[in-house]
Structure 1
């Protein structure tokens, strides 16, 4: 039997730091300390060759439970639907109108941060409500 492995989730994006800071706000994550030998991220960034400055950024769960999120700059934009997306679990254990109210409140908070509300999928006989959204660079995620 193999052991559970740690993992990180990597996002391709245009502006790594901007997208990372957005996800810090969504998930309650934090920016980790700069690499050893640097007092600030700005100091680290200025030490890099100009062509690689700002090419990546990361954020972490301050409790150490959730995966690290890594954001890397790529030259191309998103052209098709994501094959993998995050479900941000804000309505766990809630049903009906109570669940929908919590999802809608979180949707409004994230729209104010620059997210896009794609649609609201209302509960039916098989599924509870959820809200598909896009982050500030168009990456899909769901409020669930």
Structure 2
């Protein structure tokens, strides 16, 4: 679509990586997945407190990449 985004997404998707391990391990997995998604056409919008990454797909729809709860 050539038109810019004019409203919030109706649906917000969260992509979760495994949540086990320490904070540094979880952040490394989040960053690795975000990098994979950039190679697939996504864009990093914001990194939030080494907790999650807000991204956008090629059409500007935002989604987050974060760690699942540790089990």
Q: Per the alignment, in what secondary structure is the counterpart of residue 26 of structure 2?
A: helix
Which has the larger strand fraction? 2
Which of the two has higher C-alpha Rg? 1
**Mind listing any 5+ residue stretches in structure 1 that lack a counterpart?**
1-13, 15-74, 124-128
Q: How many residues align?
A: 66
TM-score, L = length of structure 1: 0.40
CA RMSD of aligned residues (A): 2.1
Which structure carries more relative contact order (alpha carbon 8 Å, separation 6+)? 2
Name 2:53's counterpart in structure 1. 131
TM-score, L = length of structure 2: 0.76
**Mind listing any 5+ residue stretches in structure 2 that lack a counterpart?**
67-71
TM-superposed deviation, 1:91: 3.8
Runs of 4+ in 1 over 6 A off after TM superposition: none
